[in-house]
A and B are shown apart, each in its own frame.
Chain A
Amino acid sequence: MCAIAVLMMPLVTHDGYVIQLLNIAMLNAIVVLGLNFATGWTGQINFGQAAFYGLGAYTTAIATKAGLPWISTPFLSILVVVAASIALGLPTLRLRTYYLAMTTIGFGEIVRLIIVHWEPVTGGTSGLRAIPGISLFGFGPQGQIQHYYLLIAVLAIAALVAARIRHSSLGRAMIATKDSEIAAEQSGVDTTRTKLLAFMIGAIYAGLAGCLYASSVRFISPDSFSGIQAVLLMTMLIVGGMGSIAGCIIGAVTLTLLPEALRFLGQWYLVLYGLGVIVVIVLAPGGLASIASEMRLRLASAR
């Protein structure tokens, strides 16, 4: 029923703005699913996810504007973010908690500064516009609604892959690393490699989302990938439910739509927004996803 509702959405609302907002929400969901590998499952705080998102977007924009065929951009984006995640991960993943958080914040800032100051290539603070759209051998989605369906398909695949990783030895190794690093090591888990893999897979998710962002919105600027965005992505993960695939999607969609839904409040919307986030964290520490499973448990025991 939920699936039908999601698929029918464009028929109900003809407002292009709402669809565009939903598209952004789905892109955010893919990025948050990626963040969940390192932070939700492996327990490594990562404020660099927005930077990986930006690297994917800028790689795609620069490549297509230079005339490369669109089909090459997902691969180029993956190449760039994998290289960046190894460069960031190898020296820093032995750091823990606050120290790792600080390093990833630093990494995000470095990427942002490069984007802002490398003006001839990145367009500086004014960004890049008129980015060529998605096109596979001449075919590509036209208009918001076709992009909507394409993004639903990509998000579904992203969620499926995440679920498969969760139920494999790699997923179990990630969670074991989070719960007790030393016990995981003594059970034969290479925790350094597991952390690096979690980081890398998450970066690939962000890179691909960035690629789709650049070629569906067709305008990018450094603001979309700043440190504030990194904190917002982390908030989506926490509010939705750390470690839960459904939670990542719920959190990303809710926190992308909420500011717009509250827009009628004018400047006061941030107050309500902030309060809402605090209420969720206090009342449901497991995130929005945990409320659903809690209710199911209660219903089952009531019967």
Chain B
Amino acid sequence: MSAPPILAARGVTKRFGGLVALDSVDLDVPRGVVQAIIGPNGSGKTTLLNALSGASHADAGSIQIDGQELFGLKPHRIARLGLARTFQTIRIFNNLSVIENVKVSGACNTSISLFGIVTENARQKQREAEIEHRAREALEVVGLGGRANDRAAQLPYAQQRLLEIARALASKPDVLLLDEPAAGMNPEESRRVGETVRRLRDRDESAWFELLNQL
């Protein structure tokens, strides 16, 4: 393969006290592929994902996205550089509507101007319109367009998972990490998630990266 990988990790190590959860993990993910990491419970899949996304930093190693070093950066900086993720246990924003959930990450590379917000000037309106557009697009991809104005907490479980995927998509990531996206779903629902992921791969040049639990 000649193209440089979009995500490259070298020697990623994570210890919890005396337990070495990740022992010098090397990883290359090329663009435009879906890759899965499988392993039994406790094998360190989520730990690896947390280390990559900055949620819980690795103790050592190098993680690069498109040539940019991520190691030690705060999670929001990593998100802005193009790495998005979902969570194994759902973490949606319950006090926001469905579309507002997605807008949160849709705004990740838009600057905040207090003056603009207070005066609602033309630039601010344009910013909000762009965020709205990006959020609607992401909701349509996962098929939640019809529920945009519902409270996120009112969605059934499977749709909350789809909402997390939409939220991750709205930041227009280069790399998307899905942590057990089909956990707790029935076969029909997990088939739909699989379809969504495939559709995304065909549409975009980004890399998708799934964590599956071996059952």
Please list the residues of chain A having a beta carbon within 8 angstroms of any beta carbon in chain B.
161, 164-165, 168-170, 172-173, 175-176, 178-180, 182-191, 197, 201, 243
Contact = CB atoms under 8 A, between A and B. Distances in A.
Contact of B91 (A164, A169, A173, A180): A180
B88 interface: no
Given A169-B131, A178-B95, A183-B93, A188 B117 contact: no
Interface of B: 53-55, 74-76, 78-80, 84-85, 87, 91-96, 100-101, 103-105, 107-110, 112, 114, 117-118, 120, 124, 127-128, 131, 167-168, 171
Contact of A175 (B55, B93, B118, B127): B93
Contacts of A186: 53-55, 75-76, 78-79, 84-85
Given A165-B117, A180-B92, A187-B171, 12 more contacts: A164-B120, A169-B107, A169-B128, A173-B107, A175-B95, A175-B96, A183-B93, A185-B76, A187-B76, A187-B84, A188-B107, A190-B76
A176 B76 contact: no
Nearest to B164: A183
A165 B119 CA distance: 10
Nearest to A167: B128
A176 B124 CA distance: 20
Nearest to B170: A187
Contact of B110 (A169, A182, A184, A190): A169
15 contacts: A169-B104, A169-B110, A170-B112, A179-B93, A179-B96, A182-B91, A185-B55, A185-B79, A186-B76, A187-B84, A187-B104, A188-B108, A188-B171, A189-B104, A191-B76
B115 to A, nearest CB: 11
Contacts of B107: 169, 172-173, 188
Contacts of A180: 91-93
Contacts of B171: 187-188
A243 B74 contact: no
Contacts of A179: 92-96
Contacts, number: 99
A1 B187 CA distance: 55
Nearest to A171: B117
A182 B75 contact: yes
Given A185-B75, A188-B108, A172 B128 contact: no
A172 B131 CA distance: 12
Contacts of B117: 164-165, 168, 170
Nearest to A191: B76
A197 B118 CA distance: 14
A168, A179, A201 — which one has the most chain B CB atoms within 10 A of its CB? A168
Contacts of B103: 169, 172
Contacts of B131: 169
B84 to A, nearest CB: 7
B15 to A, nearest CB: 21
Contacts of B84: 186-187
Contacts of B53: 186
A170 B127 contact: no
B76 A189 contact: yes
A182 B128 contact: no
Contacts of B118: 161, 164-165
A212 B81 CA distance: 45
Contacts of A197: 114
A178, A182, A187, A190 — which one has the most chain B CB atoms within 10 A of its CB? A187
Contacts of A165: 117-118
A188 B109 CA distance: 8
A242 B78 CA distance: 32
B55 A184 contact: no
Contact of B128 (A168, A173, A185): A168
